[in-house]
Structure 1
């Protein structure tokens, strides 16, 4: 089974990396592909460019065989839409290979507002990771999809190429990229929230308002 975990990774941190490893273990797959988006359609401008975010991500996953990077969205012009990425992957994998995408409950709550959202279950399984916050609206389309197409465990995903929804509740690290950007901008250290090599590169390039000569 091929599993993708997309996001802005602005910047990548231990919360992203730990979750990806948990997903790899829970789903019983060799690796999870991290897919950095080029232009996020549902939020403002990123704090670092696509190339800079990709460079930080490469530093973060170096020497970790369970995590790989798929930079296909960075090669496309315009906003990054999940349906486009899944169509491209499905064409490469064929019709029979199981394909799954990972999304948090916060983003999944607006699933029926995504572009071509009805096509997504026809291309891949959807793994919904529970995050702290309000529960899904029980009368909404996302909750209906979970109720009608939900499966009880990862085994079901391996037996079919697409169409199932699986809820997972892995341990999460309470780290946010927004909080990291704010911390760096305030001149405070984000060390231990992200890999040391990522923080070193952020300082070297002066990203997110970091002072290259700062003594953190």
Structure 2
């Protein structure tokens, strides 16, 4: 039976409740059979990470513990850089059955910049059956302009309704470094892991 498979990628440095909320709401609203958390060793747009790779893998696994549809995906960890989403989607597609559908999860802020991504048209129209987009507070979204830049993309977009969790991994790192509590932004096991290994201080 064909499956609806979603994936989203990131350095997850650290993973937080915003990631988890998107995963849960996208899974429910889009009726996904599987959701792959693709850990990227280092983003093409960043030159460093803060927690090491093994620590981030462990934090992702702690985040999705008990989530029946979510699973950690090592497809980027097992290949050489650069880690472009187009290449990741191509590799994931090769692991699926021909009738399976592949969806990419992203935030509205990332969607706005999508036309500038590496092989963006190929990503959207050859490898993906849809884009699942979460709106971020304060992020304007001009679908008309997006359609002009990438004709046909509007037909592939589905928006996820989810509670507003206005936090990012960068915010968590900054708060942690300045001594502010970040407990409310992460699943308890992740928060405990960060404290245990004195990360982001």
TM-score (norm. length: structure 1): 0.82
CA–CA separation in structure 1 for the residues paired with 2:139 and 2:26: 22
Structure 2 match to 1:175: 167
CA–CA separation in structure 2 for the residues paired with 1:105 and 1:99: 19
Displacement, 1:44? 3.5
Q: Which structure 1 residue ranges, 5 or more long, are not aligned?
A: 152-163, 210-216
Does the 8 A contact of 2:8 with 2:38 survive in 1? Answer: yes
Structure 2 match to 1:114: 117
Displacement, 1:147? 7.4
Deviation string, structure 1 residues 121-144 (Cα, Å, up to 9, x no partner): 21112222222234234663x343
> CA 1:149 to 1:208, structure 2 compared with 1: closer, same or farther past 3 Å?
closer
Displacement, 1:87? 0.7
Displacement, 1:43? 2.5
Specify the SS of the correspondent of 2:38: strand
Deviation string, structure 1 residues 97-141 (Cα, Å, up to 9, x no partner): 11100111111111111111111121112222222234234663x
Does the 8 A contact of 2:106 with 2:134 survive in 1? Answer: yes
Q: Are 2:194 and 1:205 equivalent residues in the alignment? A: no
TM-score (norm. length: structure 2): 0.88
2:138 to 133, 145, 148: 133
Query: What is the number of residues matched between the two proteins?
Result: 196
Query: Which deviates further from its counterpart, 118-127 or 89-98?
Result: 89-98
CA–CA separation in structure 1 for the residues paired with 2:143 and 2:187: 38
Specify the SS of the correspondent of 2:184: coil
Q: Are 2:100 and 1:100 equivalent residues in the alignment? A: no
CA–CA separation in structure 2 for the residues paired with 1:28 and 1:116: 28
- Choose 1 or 2 for highest CA Rg: 1
Q: Are 2:82 and 1:90 equivalent residues in the alignment? A: no
CA RMSD between the two structures = 2.0
Does the 8 A contact of 1:10 with 1:46 survive in 2? Answer: yes
CA–CA separation in structure 2 for the residues paired with 1:179 and 1:22: 22
Does the 8 A contact of 1:86 with 1:120 survive in 2? Answer: yes
> CA 1:133 to 1:43, structure 2 compared with 1: closer, same or farther past 3 Å?
farther
Q: Which structure 2 residue ranges, 5 or more long, are not aligned?
A: none
Specify the SS of the correspondent of 1:80: coil
Deviation string, structure 1 residues 166-197 (Cα, Å, up to 9, x no partner): 23343231222111111211122211211221
> CA 1:91 to 1:188, structure 2 compared with 1: closer, same or farther past 3 Å?
same
Q: Are 2:115 and 1:123 equivalent residues in the alignment? A: no
